[in-house]
Chain A
Amino acid sequence: AQTIHQWPVAEIKAVGSPLSLGCTIKGKSSPNLYWYWQATGGTLQQLFYSITVGQVESVVQLNLSASRPKDDQFILSTEKLLLSHSGFYLCAWSPASYEQYFGPGTRLTVL
């Protein structure tokens, strides 16, 4: 069975500080991977997706970047956080049949 892990579980960061969020999936080779952002009380907004190592496509950037350094790893980062970056960050993976399965998420608070 596939398992998806995100780290950290929660972060409190200062405006202007850097950020790195991680996602790892086990039990599935060459998955499609996705990053989503959800503002408090808001809907899900897809940020990036990747279908293979080293390739990342941007959907909505929000002054964030993403990388896929390994087949099972997806990283979301920024060098300078904004207040508007606060929210719930979700990593998801997809098999071939289009549905997506979400990780447990990282809750980010920017002060």
Chain B
Amino acid sequence: GDSVTQTEGLVTLTEGLPVMLNCTYQSTYSPFLFWYVQHLNEAPKLLLKSFTDNKRPEHQGFHATLHKSSSSFHLQKSSAQLSDSALYYCALSGQGTGSKLSFGKGAKLTVSP
């Protein structure tokens, strides 16, 4: 079945350093990949979505590129900000209407001054 493996647990960075959260997936077809961000006591929000035409999605300084050859969709940002501290989930969409989103276990990013 479909599955997502991502950077898990606690990730601690100093402000200004680059962010890299890994995400790899297994699927028998070409799925859509997503990154969601969840701040403390809030609902998850869609951060990025993969495109089918090799465009690189960007939002709030974050970007990710879907590499089908390596089944990866890593999240990157050149310079971490204090406000980036949150939970980050990689997710994969199944095929068909109403299909399941499979989430990774999440990475808690903490950015310190």
Which A residues form the contact surface with B (CB < 8 A)? 32, 34, 43-46, 49-51, 57, 59, 90, 94, 96-105
Closest to B34 in A: A99
**In-complex Cβ contact of A51 among B89, B98, B101 (8 A):** B98
| Interface pairs A-B: 9 shortest CB-CB | A98-B93, A51-B98, A102-B43, A44-B103, A98-B32, A105-B43, A43-B105, A49-B98, A32-B98
Q: Which of B57-98 contact A (CB under 8 A)?
A: 89, 93, 97-98
Show the binding face of B for A, using Cβ within 8 Å. Answer: 32, 34, 42-46, 49, 89, 93, 97-101, 103-106
| A50 contact set on B, CB distance < 8 A | 98
Contacting residues, chain A, for B49 (C-beta < 8 A): 97, 99
Please state if B100 and A49 are interface contacts (CB–CB under 8 Å). Answer: yes
CB–CB B44/A102 < 8 A? yes
With a CB–CB cut-off of 8 A, which chain A residues contact B101? 34, 44, 46, 100
